[in-house]
Amino acid sequence: MTAGISRTAIYVAAARAIGAREPDPAARNPDDLAEKFLGDPAKLDVDHPVVNALGLDYDEAMKDAEVVGNVRMMTVRTRFIDEALQRAVAGGATQVVILGAGLDSHAYRFSELLAPVKVFEVDRAATQALKRQRVEETLGGPPPNLTYAPIDFEHNDLPHGLARHGYDPSQRTFFVMEGLTMYLPEEALRAALGFVAGRPPGSSVVFDFVYRPMVEKLAMMKTAEVPAAAKPFVDRFLNLIRDEPWLTGLPVGGEREYLRSLGLELREVLPIGGEESVKRYLTRANGTQLGAEALAAAMARMAERFRANGQAAGAAAPTFSAEQLREQQRIMAYQLADAVVA
Ligand SMILES: C[S@@+](CC[C@H](N)C(=O)[O-])C[C@H]1O[C@@H](n2cnc3c(N)ncnc32)[C@H](O)[C@@H]1O
């Protein structure tokens, strides 16, 4: 694979591709183009269970809790964003800007809905070149309303870059920042959200985010002792993001104020993996939850390994109160947000 192509873009698209194989539409990832855009898994050159699972049968792939965890996250993410896109267009957005697009498929899956809308995909040049090649190969080319804007908005000015590609800042716009905020330096994130906030009222943005302690924890994990039971998983993730480190999180519990200070009003925040997200997007028609068996089995295995390791080291396994656990979950949450220009 060419240097400079985002490995994380491949990884998230792989999780969407696996999720799109779920038979029940009530819990399926609607991204039926992810698999096509990825192409031959053997050529992807990203060594991660989620990418390797592309070569497996769906039921087999979903026995691996690491695969399941990623598939669940991406299914919630895709469906939340799909719904926000549909609402934004129904509400009068005439432009859609997808920042850090990677292998995003909205412009192609929603080509009918978006026919009267101008769509812009922004990404770094190398990743965008791969995307364009895959779109040519699989779909014969992009829809006529789509413009590719190869802009690195960490190092280049986003407003001018977009304008150069025909973006009209005076029109109501829906922005997608999927899998992006954590990879941007805080200044670039503020600048991007500030740019959104400067668009006409009714313009909106969806994005996923973590809180600052999560980013700090990830940075520490490079050097800190990680429990043996969690080490392979952590190492694989650190390897995956080795060229795309996580840099930015929002202040704990402060997303509303953070956005307000930039000129945006938070409409909804949805914790991924929380009860509401499971109910909306991960529950099959028969009431079962996508991947629940594999997750329960993995939790039991991990608890057993922690216990065994603790006993071997002569130490008591750490115990946490329910309140401490809840606080930990709150701080380490991974969430989706929908915000609007007031
Ligand atoms: C985790 S991937 C997500 C891709 C896509 N949004 C998705 O969810 O499938 C992050 C994407 O953001 C892009 N990206 C990161 N920093 C960027 C920057 N400064 N300028 C432009 N694109 C950037 C990467 O190239 C990559 O495609």
Determine the Cα–Cα distance for residues 66 and 51; give it in Å rounded to an integer: 11
pLDDT score for 121: 98
Using DSSP bridges, classify how beta strands 334-341 and 264-271 pair: parallel, antiparallel or unpaired: antiparallel
Residue 12 CA: nearest ligand 1 atom is 9
B/e letters for 182-211, b = 16+ CB within 10 Å, e = fewer, are bbbeeebbebbbebbbebeeebbbbbbbbb
Measured from the CB, is residue 12 less than 6 Å from ligand 1?
yes
Tell me how far apart the alpha carbons of residues 84 and 204 are, in angstroms, rounded to a whole number. Answer: 9
- CA dihedral over 252, 258, 264, 265, signed as positive or negative: positive
248 lines ligand 1 (CB under 6 A): no
Q: What are phi and psi of 95, to 5 degrees?
A: -140, 145
Q: How far is the CA of 284 from the centre of ligand 1 (A)?
A: 31
Q: In degrees rounded to 5, what are phi and psi of residue 339?
A: -130, 150
The closest-lying atom of ligand 1 relative to the alpha carbon of residue 155 is 19
Pair 263, 341: CB distance under 8 Å: yes
Structure tokens that stand for 58 in this block: 């769906």
pLDDT in the model for residue 317: 56
Residue pair 22/28 in contact (Cβ under 8 Å)? The answer is: yes
Q: Is 6's C-beta closer than 6 angstroms to any atom of ligand 1? A: yes
142 lines ligand 1 (CB under 6 A): no
pLDDT of residue 1: 46
- Provide the CATH number for the domain formed by 7-214+239-276+331-341 in this structure: 3.40.50.150
* Closest approach atom of ligand 1 to CA 152: 20
Best substitution site from 6, 10, 96 to test ligand 1's pocket, by max atoms within 8 Å of Cβ?
Answer: 6
Question: How far apart are the CA of 326 and the centre of ligand 1, in A?
Answer: 31
Pocket test for ligand 1, best of 81, 96, 103, 123 (most atoms within 8 A of CB): 123
State in Å: Cα 241 to ligand 1 middle: 12
In sequence order, the β-bridge partners of residue 149 are: 122
Strands in the chain per DSSP E:
95-99, 118-123, 146-150, 173-177, 204-210, 264-271, 334-341
Give the whole-angstrom CA distance, residue 12 versus residue 51: 9
Ligand 1 pocket residue status of 191, Cβ below 6 Å: no
**pLDDT value at position 103?**
98
User: Could you give the 3-state DSSP secondary structure of residue 268?
Assistant: strand
Asked if residue 121 has its Cβ within 6 Å of ligand 1, the reply is no
pLDDT at 314: 55
**How much is the pTM?**
0.94
Asked if residue 128 has its Cβ within 6 Å of ligand 1, the reply is no
Tens of pLDDT along the chain (342 residues) come to 457 899 999 999 999 999 999 999 999 999 999 999 999 988 998 999 999 999 999 999 999 999 999 999 999 999 999 999 999 999 999 999 999 999 999 999 999 999 999 999 999 999 999 999 999 999 999 999 999 999 999 988 899 999 999 999 999 999 999 999 999 999 999 999 999 999 999 999 999 999 999 999 999 988 777 888 788 888 999 999 999 999 999 999 999 999 999 999 999 999 999 999 999 999 999 999 999 999 998 888 878 877 777 665 555 556 778 888 889 889 999 999 999 998
Using DSSP bridges, classify how beta strands 204-210 and 173-177 pair: parallel, antiparallel or unpaired. parallel
Does the C-beta of 175 come closer than 6 Å to ligand 1? no
Rg (CA), the chain: 20
DSSP code at position 316: P
3-class SS at 205? strand
Residue 12 pLDDT = 98
- Tell me the CA–centroid distance for residue 222 and ligand 1, in Å: 22
Report d(CA 44, CA 99) in Å as an integer. Answer: 22
| Cα separations in angstroms, 40 against 3, 54, 55, 159 | 18, 9, 9, 36
Distance CA 146, CA 98 (A): 11
Tell me the C-alpha distance between 126 and 34, whole Å.
18
Q: How far is the CA of 142 from the centre of ligand 1 (A)?
A: 19
3: phi > 0 → left, psi -120 to 50 → alpha, else beta; which? Answer: beta
CA distances 261 to 28, 169, 240, 256, 340, Å, are 36, 21, 33, 9, 13
Beta bridge partners of 269: 337
Residue nearest to atom 18 of ligand 1 (CA): 152
Q: Residue 268 forms beta bridges with which residues?
A: 338
Asked if 9 and 24 count as a contact pair (C-beta separation under 8 A), the reply is no
CA 249/CA 267 separation, integer angstroms: 19
